[in-house]
Amino acid sequence: MSKLLKGRTGDWEIVIGLEIHAQSITKAKLFSGASTAFGAEPNTQVSLVDAAMPGMLPVLNEESVRQAVRSGLALNSKINLHSVFARKNYFYPDLPQGYQISQFESPIVGEGELEIDLADGEVVTVGIERLHLEQDAGKSLHDQHPTKTYIDLNRSGITLMEIVSKPDMRSSEEAVEYATKVRSILRYIDTCDGNMQEGSLRCDANVSVRRPGEALGTRCEIKNLNSFRYLRQAIDHEAVRQVEILEDGGKIAQETRLYDTAKGETRSMRSKEEAHDYRYFPDPDLLPIDLSEEFVARMKATLPELPDARKERFVTAYALSPYDASVLVSERDTADYFETVAAGRDSKLAANWVISDLFGRLNKLTIPVSASPVSAEALGELIDLISDQTISGRIAKDVFSEMFESGEGAKAIVEKKGLRQVTDEGAIRGQVQSVIDDNPDKVADYRGGNDKLVGWFMGQVMKASQGKANPGMVNKLLREMLSA
């Protein structure tokens, strides 16, 4: 599949790098003891450190360090045993310190790489430049008052892990796959909940275009993309915009842009030439972080099986297709659910039920698998009933619907409604006979060579048995008795 963008004057290559801001899962903030819980009343989770009162000193949260190291390890990246906090200086009302405490020259995590799978089966390696720790800013509300801005500092000081990729992506699809993978990994290891609606995960995209094989073009940074759909749209629109400018003989201005979700286009944020002089310097209030190899090894030992390893195991141990395996491992809860269902059962049958039937329903109602009305054990019980021929696959669909709506168990529903499959040959033979007796014309047609009619007879018998007759036996008896 070509990823090149066709312009009027030839092909263009899109070059994308992503910065992902992931909120760490910690109870307290990076440098203060105030809570990080989402959705509290304004300014009720603000310590005097977060409000930057004079004389307040930051004290580093050990959990933020643990989470950053675990994330770095899970992202196949190098852990820097020595790292330093720096001040990034700029003025904005939701940044009360007048600087953001971040890491600059010496981040806690260095280079690494991730492999991403594209829909057409291609595998692309994306380099990771770094992961560093920094404080989140507060929230500005511009729509509460005609001439005023309202500020809530609850988010101020929450731990962010900024994960910076190398400019290794060549299409919006690759960018979305990469971001999805980072999110999936962080959720697996419980370092970020990945909730994009609540802003726990946000992306900035650096986009430029060039003629294939030429040097990098001038890039624009699109800020604060809070869904993968917007990430894809913003990159696609930005690339077309840049190609149009270049083909008209213009030049790209390096600038920060916003994606206007209503209009579906990017536009320039008012760019002040000097606004980006952050004048980083080491924060004198904070000593460097020095980690031991032993600490890093201990963090490594806390990591669960990661999505890639799990996917490979699903393919080999459960004989699933790579595609089914990747669907199942994308979320830890989903993979756990599947493994419970598959334990001691036909794994392909289990995968089909989980992917088609369960996910189909859950997605329609946007319920996460963790809140599924049908537990993994309950679905397993249903599959057992199919495997031991208590019910047919067809009836099982109805039973599943009932389970999903009422929360009742499969066995209970089958007993209550009398759905047990009829495998008594005599009983089925009787039903087949009466359908044959009632339809002499059709029987004559069939015997005259219209083989397709067997399907019609099948339907009649199944209807007569209210779907309970064993379909295999009906089929066998029908052919035998029609030919007699």
Partner 1 sequence: MSLDKDTVRRIAMLARIKVPEADLETMAGELNNILGWIEQLDEVDTDGVEPMTSVSDFRPELRADVVNDGGDAERALANAPENANGFFVVPKVID
**Strands 256-260, 220-225: pairing kind:** parallel
Contact between 444 and partner 1 (CB under 8 A)?
no
CB atoms within 10 A of CB 445: 14
Distances (CA, A) of 185 to 3, 322, 328: 26, 18, 14
Contact between 276 and partner 1 (CB under 8 A)?
no
How many chain residues bind partner 1 (CB under 8 A)?
55
Q: How far is the CB of 145 from partner 1 (least distance, A)?
A: 7
Backbone angles phi, psi at 330, to 5 degrees: -60, -30
Q: How far is the CB of 32 from partner 1 (least distance, A)?
A: 6
Contact between 42 and partner 1 (CB under 8 A)?
yes
- Of 38-46, 201-209, 314-322, 323-331: span binding partner 1 (CB under 8 A): 38-46
Give CA–CA dist 221/254, Å, rounded.
8
The one among 140, 226, 261, 352 contacting partner 1 by CB under 8 A: 140
What tokens does 174 get? 């690759």
Q: Which is nearer to partner 1, 224 or 423 (CB)?
A: 224
The one among 253, 287, 319, 365 contacting partner 1 by CB under 8 A: 287
What tokens does 334 get? 């989903």
The one among 14, 16, 49, 246 contacting partner 1 by CB under 8 A: 49
Binders of partner 1 in range 254-273 (CB under 8 A): 269-270
The one among 55, 62, 214, 248 contacting partner 1 by CB under 8 A: 62
Give the CA count within 13 Å in the CB-facing half-sphere of 457: 34
Give CA–CA dist 308/369, Å, rounded.
20
The one among 144, 316, 366, 483 contacting partner 1 by CB under 8 A: 144
Give the closest residue to 300 by CA, choosing from 59, 36, 66, 472: 66
Q: Is 182 exposed, middle or buried (0-12, 13-18, 19+ CB in 10 A)?
A: buried
Q: How far is the CB of 73 from partner 1 (least distance, A)?
A: 19
Contact between 296 and partner 1 (CB under 8 A)?
no
CB atoms within 10 A of CB 361: 17
Angle among Cα 283, 132, 172 to the nearest 5 degrees reads 140
Q: Tell me, residue by residue from 80 to 119, as one string, x for binding to partner 1 by CB under 8 A and - for no binding.
A: ----x----x-xxx--------------------------
The one among 153, 169, 414, 435 contacting partner 1 by CB under 8 A: 153
The one among 23, 47, 242, 334 contacting partner 1 by CB under 8 A: 47
Q: How far is the CB of 30 from partner 1 (least distance, A)?
A: 9
Give CA–CA dist 336/268, Å, rounded.
45
Distances (CA, A) of 258 to 13, 142, 279, 481: 22, 16, 24, 73
Query: Reading across the β-sheet that carries 85-89, which strands appear in turn?
Result: 99-103, 85-89, 281-282
Q: Tell me, residue by residue from 8 to 37, as one string, x for binding to partner 1 by CB under 8 A and - for no binding.
A: ------------------xxx--xxxxx--
Backbone angles phi, psi at 72, to 5 degrees: -60, -45
Contact between 189 and partner 1 (CB under 8 A)?
no
**Strands 77-79, 123-135: pairing kind:** unpaired
Q: How far is the CB of 93 from partner 1 (least distance, A)?
A: 5
Give the closest residue to 394 by CA, choosing from 386, 403, 404, 405: 386
Contact between 44 and partner 1 (CB under 8 A)?
yes
Q: How far is the CB of 329 from partner 1 (least distance, A)?
A: 29
Binders of partner 1 in range 403-422 (CB under 8 A): none
- Of 51-59, 160-168, 187-195, 471-479: span binding partner 1 (CB under 8 A): 51-59
Contact between 41 and partner 1 (CB under 8 A)?
yes
Give CA–CA dist 78/55, Å, rounded.
36
Contact between 147 and partner 1 (CB under 8 A)?
yes
CB atoms within 10 A of CB 377: 11
Q: How far is the CB of 91 from partner 1 (least distance, A)?
A: 6
The SS3 of residue 161 is strand
Q: Which is nearer to partner 1, 54 or 249 (CB)?
A: 54
Q: How far is the CB of 51 from partner 1 (least distance, A)?
A: 5
Give CA–CA dist 101/459, Å, rounded.
71
Q: How far is the CB of 290 from partner 1 (least distance, A)?
A: 6
Q: Give me the residues that bind partner 1 (CB under 8 A), please.
A: 26-28, 31-35, 41-51, 53, 59-65, 84, 89, 91-93, 140-142, 144-153, 269-270, 274, 277, 279, 282, 284, 287-288, 290
